[in-house]
Structure 1
Amino acid sequence: MLKKESISEALRFCVVGVVATAIHYGIYWWLQHHIEVNIAYTVGYVVSFVANYLLSAHYTFRERTTARNGIGFVGAHVCNYLLQILLLNGFLWLGLSRSLAPLGVYAIAVPVNFLMIRFVFKHFRRS
């Protein structure tokens, strides 16, 4: 059974995830009409990353931003980015449209990202 704190944390993560995903997808959607799809995806990812870090720290996990959790967050997001870019190209290769492919990516990568980010903020918590 999940603790009440874990459920609340997961809900806050969902709110932050929706905001970060909307930023990412909005930037990607606009840019993919003008530049190469992987570059558009990467630019959207980087911009949403900053908002995601600040919101994850302060709102989701109620922690201060520190060098330690910042480095952990970057590390988790490097892994997450690689997973997402591989999935994006896989979905495109399978024939999904450029507009819909990120939705499949998010369905797989968001739960994985939650587990990695939760580990970062719980593992690097101040003593």
Structure 2
Amino acid sequence: MCKEIQHKSDGKMGEVLRFAIVGVIATLIQYGVYFVLVLCLIPTLAMTIAYAVSFAFNFVASTRYTFRVKASARRGAGFALSHAVNYVLQMLTLNLFIWLGLSKQWAPIPMFAVCVPVNFVLVRYFLKVKK
């Protein structure tokens, strides 16, 4: 029974669960840093700094824990590319939600709802791509 549960956790559902755990932690790091910095910086700059802090954690956790792959220059470049796309999407949606009237402190919440699923697909592709 335990091996059956472990086997299932090693499959795609386990990967999704591990992504969710790492994603929640990375998102909390990003949002926490943003929430503090936005008190004295413009939202785009605050989110950029928060994104960089979260990115560092996310790469290590994604390679070692979520997708269980060895970090390499190729995977790092793919991860950075996927996050570059995600960063642009986050900046666009953050500023859209602020423009729509959400406060700068709360605008990241719907932004994350849009960007996290897109990020999963991109990161999974670039970290799991075969050589």
TM-score with structure 2 setting the length: 0.91
Aligned position for 2:80 = 74
Where does 1:88-107 land on structure 2 (aligned, <5 Å)? 88-107=94-113
Q: Tell me, which stretches of 5 or more residues in structure 1 are unaligned?
A: none
Where does 1:26-37 land on structure 2 (aligned, <5 Å)? 26-37=32-43
Choose which of 26, 46, 57 in structure 2 pairs with 1:51.
57
Aligned position for 1:14 = 20
Give structure 1 regions of 4+ aligned residues with deviation exceeding 6 angstroms: none
1:37 is displaced (CA, Å) by 1.0
Q: Tell me, which stretches of 5 or more residues in structure 2 are unaligned?
A: 1-7
Distance in structure 2 (CA, Å) of the matches to 1:93 and 1:49: 26
Query: Match of 2:19, as an amino acid?
Result: F
How many residues are treated as equivalent by the alignment?
A: 122
RMSD over equivalenced CA pairs, Å = 0.8
Choose which of 57, 71, 76 in structure 2 pairs with 1:65.
71
SS at match of 1:114: helix
TM-score with structure 1 setting the length: 0.94
What do the CA deviations read for 1:90-123 (whole angstroms, capped 9, x no partner)? 0000000111100000001000000000001111
Larger Rg: 2
